[in-house]
Amino acid sequence: MASHWEEFYATHLPPSDFEDNRTLLKEFCDRHNKCGQRIALITSGGTTVPLEHNTVRFVDNFSAGTRGAISAEYFLEHGYVVIFLHRLKSLEPFTRYFSGQKFMDMLELHDRGPNTTITVKPDSVDVLAPILASYKAVQEGGRILYVNFTTVSDYFWLLRAACECLAAYGPKAVLYLAAAVSDFYVPSNQLPTHKMQSGAGVPNIQLQLVPKLLAPLVSLWVPHAFVVSFKLETDETLLISKARDSLNKYKHKLVIGNILQTRRSKVVFVTPDNSYEVVLSREQMLNGMEIEDTIVSNVVLSHTDFIQSQKY
Ligand code: PAZ
């Protein structure tokens, strides 16, 4: 009998641009693996669950992709190349600083008829210049690959394709699974084709459990990689026990737990042997420190130890 996750792939089509993304992933992974690079696959943002095939309505997730976008910048700083598997239109590394009106407000328009020019306001140059320099260096070195998903099914297909390409890296690959993936969905064969009509009365929507991909990911797809998953809870009393259950069940290396309201300033690292908190003080936050700086530094240290341990 096929397992739950195999059945999911057998009954859900890949996204329409799947083959293009698979080619890009393969080319990116092969190119950097030849140079002996460490690589991080970062998943970021929330998946959607469509309620119709021609989707007008869907169930969404709160995540803006902040954790993933910031972490990608720190992994790049540590010399990793990065696959950034993210929700379409969620935050991205580097551009995250300029969302909304912020970018427009940095610019000045000099309207001189046919010789109109646009410049960066002098007081914004100091902000923009270092970010732009890092962005350009990463782009010119081809060190980041952006791949996007929208639905939970897109995410499943792209995650497996990325893992197939990462397997060749063995312990040099980190999987940093920060995306907020739906736990519940409506299977494709139970979706109406067209927009649900209110005239038909109250809809009866039956959600099913999404298969847990960590199981095949850790045991079959990238068995030699350093896998880090995130766990979000709203009830503090459940966090550590749920993180530990996940480690015991899937046998990966690290779970980083966080609580919805405090996730910007506090996380807990849970390993098979211990657990410890990483906390930012109010003052550190006011000084612009980002918790992802410490999270990624700690993950990189553990990854280095892991690579060393695999040599003996
Ligand atoms: O995207 P964001 O910065 O708003 O939130 C990050 C997060 C809470 C989604 C992430 O840290 C996380 O916990 N991801 C896993 C969620 C889960 O338990 O499935």
**In terms of Cα–Cα distance, which of 300, 302, 270 is closest to 71?**
300
| Complex ipTM value | 0.99
Between CA 39 and CA 28 the distance in angstroms is: 10
Sequence-ordered list of residues with C-beta below 8 angstroms from that of 34, at least 6 positions apart, any chain: none
State the number of CA atoms in the 13 A half-sphere of 61 facing the CB.
26
Q: Return the ∠ at Cα 12 (arms to 8 and 13), rounded to 5°.
A: 140
Strands 275-279 vs 266-270: parallel, antiparallel or unpaired: antiparallel
Residue owning the nearest CA to atom 8 of ligand 1: 232
Between CA 104 and CA 120 the distance in angstroms is: 10
Q: Is 46 in the pocket of ligand 1 (CB under 6 A)?
A: no
Residue owning the nearest CA to atom 4 of ligand 1: 63
Tokens of 155: 């995410």
Residue owning the nearest CA to atom 11 of ligand 1: 178
Q: pLDDT tens digits, the chain, 312 residues: what are they?
A: 789 999 999 999 999 999 999 999 999 999 999 999 999 999 999 999 999 999 999 999 999 999 999 999 999 999 999 999 999 999 999 999 998 898 999 999 998 788 899 999 999 999 999 999 999 999 999 999 999 999 999 999 999 999 999 999 999 999 999 999 999 999 999 999 999 999 999 999 999 999 999 999 999 999 999 999 999 999 999 999 999 999 999 999 899 999 999 999 999 999 998 999 999 999 999 999 999 999 999 999 999 999 999 976
pTM value?
A: 0.97
Q: Return the ∠ at Cα 155 (arms to 153 and 161), rounded to 5°.
A: 110
Tokens of 253: 């290396």
Right CATH for 4-93+142-310 from 3.30.70.260, 3.20.130.10, 3.40.50.300, 3.40.50.10300: 3.40.50.10300
In contact, 166 and 222? CB cutoff 8 Å: yes
Q: Is 216 in the pocket of ligand 1 (CB under 6 A)?
A: no
In contact, 172 and 38? CB cutoff 8 Å: yes
